[in-house]
Amino acid sequence: MTVINRARLESILLMSSQHAPQLLQMMQNLIDAAPQNIAKLEQYLASGDTENTQQLLHKIRGSYATIGADELAKQASALEQTSAGNKSISANALQGFIHIYQQSCNELQSIIQLQSVQAAAQLDTLDAAQLMTLLETQNMTACNMVLQNKLSLNQLMSEPDAKLFFHQVACLDFAKAAELLHRYMPNPPKSGG
C-alpha cells in the first residue's frame, strides 16, 4: 500500500524543478528527524504534555501534507484534535500513527533515491554532451572537464578506450578524442558515411 500521493509529489518536483535538490534535501531532513519526533511524541504523551504534543503533531502534519503524505497528515490531524479535546491518545492510535509515519518515511526515502539516480543520469548525459561540444569546438576547457570527470569517463569507456581518450586529450588531439567519446554517447547522431 502506498501512503504517498505520488502525483502531488511529482507535480511539486516538476513545478519546482529548479529547486528540486533543495526540496529533496528538505524531504531527507524530515525523514532524518522522524525517529527524534517519534521519541518526543512518546515522551510528551507519557508526561501528559498536551501543548507540545499538539505542536509536534501540527508540525508533522503540515510538513508531510505539503509533500503528499496524505494518510500521515490525516492521522496527525486526528491525534492533534484528540489531544486538543483533552482526551488521551490510545496506545493503538499512537502505534498506528507511528507505523504510518515510518511507512511514509520509507516511501519518501525510495522516492529520494530514485530522484537522485535520475538526476545523476541526467547530469552525466549533460556533462558528456557538453564535453563532446568542447572537444568538437577545440575548446581548451575540455582538458579541465576531462580532469574533473576522469572517474566517470573511466566508468563510461572500456579501459583501452579510456587510456587512448586521455592520451588524445593530453596531446590536444580533440578531434580524435571526440570521435572516441562519440561511440559512448547515449544517442549518438548517425554519421553520413
Distance CA 126, CA 137 (A): 16
Query: What's the CA gap between 80 and 108, in Å, rounded?
Result: 23
CA distances from 79 to 61, 70, 87, 156 (A): 10, 14, 10, 52
> Which contiguous run of DSSP H or E holds residue 186?
none
Residue 119: pLDDT over 90: no
pLDDT score, position 192: 46
Task: Annotate 145-164 with DSSP letters as a single string.
Answer: HHHHTHHHHHHHS-HHHHHH
Q: Which residue has the higher pLDDT, 186 or 93?
A: 93
Outline where DSSP puts E strands in the chain. Answer: none
| Cell matching residue 45 | 504523551
Task: List Cα–Cα distances, 6 to 23, 68, 152, in angstroms.
Answer: 15, 7, 32
pLDDT of residue 120: 61
pLDDT of 12 reads: 86
The label of the residue with cell 521519541 reads: 39
Backbone φ, ψ for residue 69 (5° rounding)? -85, 70
The three three-digit cell numbers of residue 171, written as one number? 596531446
| pTM confidence score | 0.64
pLDDT of the residue at 44: 95
Helix, strand, coil shares of the chain, percent, nearest 5, are 80, 0, 20
Distance of alpha carbon 12 from alpha carbon 68, whole angstroms:
9
Instruction: Give me the chain's average pLDDT, please.
Output: 87
pLDDT tens across 47-62, in order?
Answer: 999 999 999 999 999 9
How far apart CA 95 and CA 193 sit, in angstroms, is 68
Contact between 42 and 79 under an 8 Å Cβ cutoff? The reply is no
The average pLDDT across 152-166 equals 84
What pLDDT score does 184 carry?
Answer: 81
**pLDDT tens across 2-50, in order?**
899 998 898 888 787 667 778 888 999 999 999 999 999 999 999 999 9
Residue 156 has pLDDT above 50, yes or no: yes
Reported confidence tier of residue 113, pLDDT bands at 50, 70, 90: confident
The string of pLDDT tens digits covering residues 64-79 is 999 999 999 999 999 9
